[in-house]
Each structure stands twice: as structure tokens, then as C-alpha cells.
């Protein structure tokens, strides 16, 4: 199977994952050229990963991504599970997330004058949303009566519910009326109403707000999600409940937040 045909393959991987796999496999094919990937031995696969780790100094998370791409190629496509049975796999670094305190969060909101952009940042923080989830929200996903947001087709292709705080209702209604939105469709449309706003656009807004507010921490949209989880913990919210809100498959992923809190 040619690499370009991966996009049409029926396995349940997201577009983003397939795009990542394609990039990893193109680099692998170029490295092994002129040998066809089917002819690559286990030892040669190991040597390639060791080359990435020891010579290219690639981050462990990236090497693991390459590992997953190779496993997909050999196990799922070539049906040769024995080929990658004993490949080296580095441990991912356990880095604490960058977290804003509540005063810094309010400074960021105050630095954004555009109603749409400020509403997006406030909602991302108040509901612990990934930026991909934020931009793909639809009007019908907001349940103001039950104070819930329905997150559809999230990471791992799973739906979940997260909180929609009543404190944000007036802000959202003002935004909805100002932009004359209907009862269905994208909550945050782009220039064309049938397309949602691009994730990079709201990230650029946050970057400008960080600069304007004088915050020197390395902050991204994901930092708002980290801050949401940390602040819930600081206010005594149960870890398992936070896990469910964030959509973490394992509580271990969520446990990084109390580690940060204890040593802050």
C-alpha cells in the first residue's frame, strides 16, 4: 500500500493522526531508501529508532509517535506483528504543565477587546476545552438548562460532557445576540459561516493577549485547560470528576495536576 493511500484506509484513526503517521513514515522510507519497507529487518528498524534517539536527539514523545506509525505500517497494513515486537521505546518525559493563577487568567481576558475572541478564551478556560474542541463547538452542543456542554468526537473519537458554568451564560448570550447566530450551526464560525474558526486564529489571539497583559510564562491554549484542572483541585474538586470533565482515559494523566499543586 502506498503512503498516500493511508488517508483512505478504514482503520479508526483521526485525520490528525494519519497526517502525523504519513510524515513519520515518509522520513522512515527516505532513510531506508532504496530498500522497500517490507524488506526492512527488525535490526534495521531498531537501528533507525536508535538513530533518532542518539544522533538526531529527537524528543521521546516524537520517537514514540514514530514507533506508533511503524507499528501501524507493519502490524495493521503489512500484517507482520513480529517485525516490531522488541523495538526500543523511550519513556516520555514527565513535565509539569504551565499553569496560570486565577489573577493571570483574568488579566488575559481583560486584554481581549473582541467579544467573540474573549468569549472563546473564557469558555476554553471555564469548561477545560482543548482548542480543537472549542473551535468545533456547535450552538446545539450548549445545554444552558443543565449547565453542560456536549463534546462530540473528541480525542479518541469519544463523546463526553463537560461543565458549562452559569457565570458564563450572560457572556455567551450577549455574544450570540451580537453576532446574530441561529439555533444551530457553528458556535464560532470563521469568515465563511459553514466553516468554524481555525484553531491557529484563536491561538494568535491568546499570544497577543499574553503579550499585552505582561505575562512571561510560556502559555498556549492548552495552558487554559491545565489551569482549569489545577484551579478545580485547589478548590477541592474530586480528581475522578476532573478526569471525566477533561476526557482523560486514565486517571494517571490527570494526576499530574495535584503534583504541580503540591510543589507550587
Local confidence band at 259 (pLDDT 50, 70, 90 cut-offs) = very low
Which residues neighbour 222 within 8 Å (Cβ) at sequence distance 6 or greater? 97, 130, 131
Q: Give residue 81's pLDDT.
A: 64
Number of Cβ within 10 Å of residue 11's Cβ equals 10
218, pLDDT greater than 80: yes
In this structure, the number of other CB atoms found within 10 A of the CB of residue 42 comes to: 15
Can you name the residues that pair with 44 across neighbouring β-strands? none
- Whether this prediction's pTM lies above 0.75 is answered by no
Kindly report the backbone phi and psi dihedral angles of residue 158, in degrees, each rounded to the nearest multiple of 5, phi listed first: -120, 145
The more confident residue out of 235 and 10 is 235
Candidate ranges 63-67, 94-98, 115-119; pick with highest mean pLDDT: 115-119
Tens-digit pLDDT profile for residues 35-92: 998 888 888 888 888 888 888 888 777 888 888 888 888 888 888 765 565 555 566 5
Listed by start position, the domains of the chain span 3-84, 102-263
Select the more confidently predicted residue: 235 or 128. Answer: 128
Which among 102, 87, 54 has a CA at the least distance from the CA of 233? 102
Residues marked as catalytic: 130, 155, 222, 225, 248, 257
Q: Which CATH number fits domain 102-263: 1.10.760.10, 1.10.443.10, 3.40.50.300, 3.30.360.10?
A: 1.10.443.10
Task: Assign domain 3-84 one CATH number from 2.60.40.1120, 3.40.50.720, 3.30.9.10, 1.10.150.130.
Answer: 1.10.150.130
Mean pLDDT of the chain: 82
Mean pLDDT of 100-122: 95
Which of 44-53, 101-110, 170-179, 206-215 bottoms out in mean pLDDT, i.e. has the lowest?
44-53
Res 263 pLDDT > 50: no
Instruction: Name residue, grid cell 488575559.
Output: 108
Rounded mean pLDDT, 219-240: 84
Asked if 136 contacts 91 with a C-beta cutoff of 8 angstroms, the reply is no
Q: How far is 258 from 264, CA to CA, in rounded Å? A: 10
Mean pLDDT value across residues 120-124: 96
Amino acid at each position: 500500500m502506498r503512503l498516500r493511500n493511508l488517508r483512505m484506509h478504514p482503520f479508526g484513526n483521526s485525520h490528525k493522526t494519519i497526517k502525523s503517521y504519513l510524515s513519520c513514515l515518509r522520513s522512515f522510507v527516505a532513510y531506508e531508501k532504496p530498500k522497500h519497507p517490507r524488506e526492512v529487518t527488525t535490526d534495521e528498524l531498531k537501528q533507525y529508532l536508535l538513530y533518532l534517539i542518539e544522533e538526531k536527539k529527537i524528543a521521546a514523545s516524537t520517537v514514540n509517535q514514530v514507533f506508533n506509525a511503524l507499528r501501524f505500517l507493519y502490524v495493521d497494513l503489512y500484517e507482520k506483528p513480529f517485525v516490531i515486537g522488541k523495538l526500543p521505546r523511550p519513556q516520555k518525559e514527565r513535565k509539569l504543565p504551565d499553569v496560570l493563577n486565577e489573577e493571570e487568567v483574568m488579566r488575559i481576558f481583560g486584554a481581549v477587546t473582541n467579544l467573540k475572541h474573549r468569549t472563546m478564551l473564557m469558555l476554553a478556560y471555564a469548561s477545560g476545552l482543548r482548542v480543537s474542541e472549542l473551535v468545533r463547538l456547535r450552538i446545539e452542543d450548549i445545554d444552558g438548562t443543565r449547565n453542560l456542554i456536549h463534546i462530540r468526537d473528541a480525542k479518541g473519537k469519544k463523546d463526553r460532557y463537560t461543565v458549562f458554568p452559569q457565570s458564563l451564560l450572560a457572556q455567551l448570550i450577549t455574544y450570540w445576540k451580537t453576532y446574530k447566530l441561529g439555533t444551530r450551526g457553528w458556535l464560532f464560525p470563521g469568515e465563511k459561516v459553514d466553516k468554524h474558526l481555525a484553531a491557529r486564529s484563536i491561538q494568535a489571539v491568546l499570544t497577543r493577549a499574553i503579550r499585552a497583559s505582561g505575562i512571561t510564562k510560556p502559555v498556549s491554549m492548552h495552558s487554559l485547560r491545565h489551569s482549569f484542572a489545577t484551579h478545580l483541585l485547589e478548590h477541592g474538586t474530586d480528581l475522578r470528576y476532573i478526569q471525566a470533565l477533561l476526557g482523560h482515559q486514565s486517571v494517571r494523566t490527570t494526576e499530574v495536576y495535584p503534583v504541580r499543586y503540591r510543589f507550587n
